Chain A
Amino acid sequence: MPSKDMVAASSKPLLLSILAEGESYGYQIIQRVRELSGGEIEWNDGMLYPVLHRLERDGFVESEWKEAESGRQRKYYFLSASGREALQAERRQWLTVHNTLSKLWNIKPVSI
């Protein structure tokens, strides 16, 4: 299981990438992270929202209250244009680290 620091550092690229798939709300995002990581990355539910709000404040995501299919009101988040740019920057950074480690561990690097 990744350490707390790793989880914290990867929260921004993870959130931006998940929202790049389409708009989503807090609960769904946490489910998605759990599903993608095979339960290895466990986010503290309540703490997700401050991170989302910070991304919103920085202009990377926008939000809107909408009615879900179940009839419940939920706050949906979606990526803004600058959020897409931020995601590209994050991607480059993570892949750079990834490729550096890959060479040392003899894993095939990915093209950035």
Chain B
Amino acid sequence: MEYKARFDLNAAMENWRSELAAEPNLTPEVRRELETHLSDLLAEFQRRGLNEEESFWLARRRVGHPQALGQEFLQANPTAVWRERVRWMAIAVLFVFLWSLTTNLLTRSVLSAIESRMGLQQRELSGSMPAQLASVLVRIVPLFALAFVLLRTDARSLGKLALVFQKRSRFVMGALGWLAIAESFNMRSGYNMRFSDITLGLASWPLALIGLIAWLMGPTPPGQSVRSESESAGPGLWPLAVIFVLAEFVGAIALWMGGVILFDIHYSAGLWPRMFFALQMPIIALAFVKTGAVTAEKFQRLRPLVLIWNLVLGALLTTPEIVSQLIMAAILQGFYELALLLARHWQRQSNGPVNVKL
């Protein structure tokens, strides 16, 4: 009697495919190429008289560990890998935005239904502190719970989708952290439902745009990309998230000190959405430089334009009083300079010596 479970080549191949797909540094085309290689190896081993199972495991070994392959591909072509990452970031941000919009509409309609049922004035309930807190919790808690579950559970029990998602979850987590920050600022600046939508909408479009550009650009044209060699697969979105959070906090503190304390100017809530673009300069610079869309030099050439734009924006955002206008412009310009410094650093970091492993 045969007790051993029969080896299923198709299932084994399928499993191998999903392991490759889980590696964010391997683009679909690379995966297809590796698969043709595996098939060739399989055929060769079988020709030499090995059975299906032996051939498969040997071929699999010869092709290499998906994670090690991912590392190598990142070194060989970081721009392609970064395009894939930015794409996932954009997807995560858009997902969060849509989720937020949906839950917001739901809580708002529930609250206003209760208000009209109980004969309360509009916004009497929905404008109250506990209701605001509840609506923030309704938005954030399920997202974090979902991310937590997907990070913790055994991938196999959730199927292929989770396996793919698990590796990308850091991107999604970054987006969630960003949402939490945005929400906490909204709470402080006199919470207003519609404002929070505008904030999120405006804040997500640059990333979405970058994702779209990365998508449209497709595979790197030979010899045209930014020369970038040594870089570890490393921390993924985390540096991005940290920069973003820092930018938000520094921006908030600078505004607060420059405006409220020094000049007793109270900024309206509507100012924040307009500020978001400037605050996101570093994150935009990263995405552009890493995907090879723009070089740090081109970014630098934009300086005069950015300066004029910042002066205009500074004047628009503050009271008609020259000192605070200039302070605002200086803060905005500071973000651009920071972004430029980081862009140069990232590009330099990407121009290190080549380390070929074969």
Known: A53-B73, A57-B76, A59-B222. A45 touches B37 (CB 8 A): yes
Known: A27-B40, A47-B64. A80 touches B222 (CB 8 A): yes
Partner of A45, one of B64, B77, B80, B222: B64
Known: A56-B222, A75-B36. A8 touches B41 (CB 8 A): no
A44 interface contact, C-beta 8 A:
yes
CB-CB contacts of A67-80 with B at 8 A, as 1s and 0s?
A: 00000111100001
B223 interface contact, C-beta 8 A:
yes
Q: How many interface residues does B have (CB within 8 Å)?
A: 29
A59 close to B36 (CB less than 8 A): no
A26 to chain B, nearest CB (A): 5
Partner of A27, one of B37, B72, B354: B37
Choose among A47, A48, A72 the residue with the greatest number of B CB atoms under 10 Å from its CB: A47
Known: A54-B77, A57-B77, A73-B36. A47 touches B357 (CB 8 A): yes
CB-CB contacts of B221-238 with A at 8 A, as 1s and 0s?
A: 011010000000000000
B358 close to A51 (CB less than 8 A): yes
Which B residues are CB-close (under 8 A) to A59? Answer: 222-223
Interface of A, secondary structure class, is helix
Q: Would you list which residues of chain B between 281 and 336 have a CB under 8 Å from chain A?
A: none
In the docked arrangement, what's the CA distance between A53 and B31, Å?
13
B19 to chain A, nearest CB (A): 13
In the docked arrangement, what's the CA distance between A19 and B77, Å?
21
B222 close to A57 (CB less than 8 A): yes
A75 close to B34 (CB less than 8 A): no
Number of inter-chain CB pairs below 8 Å? 89
In the docked arrangement, what's the CA distance between A50 and B302, Å?
34
Known: A26-B37, A27-B37, A58-B222. A53 touches B358 (CB 8 A): no
B112 interface contact, C-beta 8 A:
no
B28 to chain A, nearest CB (A): 12
Minimal Cβ-Cβ distance residue in A for B27: A53
A8 close to B223 (CB less than 8 A): no
B69 interface contact, C-beta 8 A:
yes
In the docked arrangement, what's the CA distance between A51 and B229, Å?
11
In the docked arrangement, what's the CA distance between A46 and B16, Å?
14
In the docked arrangement, what's the CA distance between A45 and B75, Å?
17
In the docked arrangement, what's the CA distance between A11 and B33, Å?
19
Minimal Cβ-Cβ distance residue in A for B224: A59
B358 to chain A, nearest CB (A): 5
B356 interface contact, C-beta 8 A:
yes
Which A residues are CB-close (under 8 A) to B356? Answer: 8-9, 11-12, 51
Minimal Cβ-Cβ distance residue in A for B74: A50
In the docked arrangement, what's the CA distance between A47 and B30, Å?
12
Partner of B72, one of A47, A57, A73: A47
Known: A51-B358, A59-B223. A45 touches B63 (CB 8 A): yes
B358 close to A11 (CB less than 8 A): yes
A19 to chain B, nearest CB (A): 14
B62 interface contact, C-beta 8 A:
yes
In the A-B complex, list the 7 residue pairs whose CB atoms are closest, starting with the nearest.
Answer: A59-B223, A46-B64, A50-B76, A50-B72, A27-B40, A8-B356, A54-B76
Question: Can you offer 23 A-B residue contacts whose CB atoms are under 8 A?
Answer: A4-B358, A8-B356, A25-B36, A27-B40, A44-B64, A44-B357, A45-B63, A46-B64, A46-B68, A46-B72, A49-B30, A49-B73, A50-B72, A50-B77, A54-B354, A58-B222, A59-B222, A61-B222, A72-B36, A74-B36, A75-B32, A75-B33, A75-B36
Besides A46-B64, A73-B36, 10 other CB < 8 A contacts?
A4-B357, A11-B358, A27-B41, A45-B41, A47-B64, A50-B72, A51-B356, A54-B76, A57-B220, A82-B223
Chain B residues in the interface with A (C-beta under 8 A): 29-30, 32-34, 36-37, 39-41, 62-64, 68-69, 72-73, 75-77, 80, 220, 222-223, 225, 354, 356-358
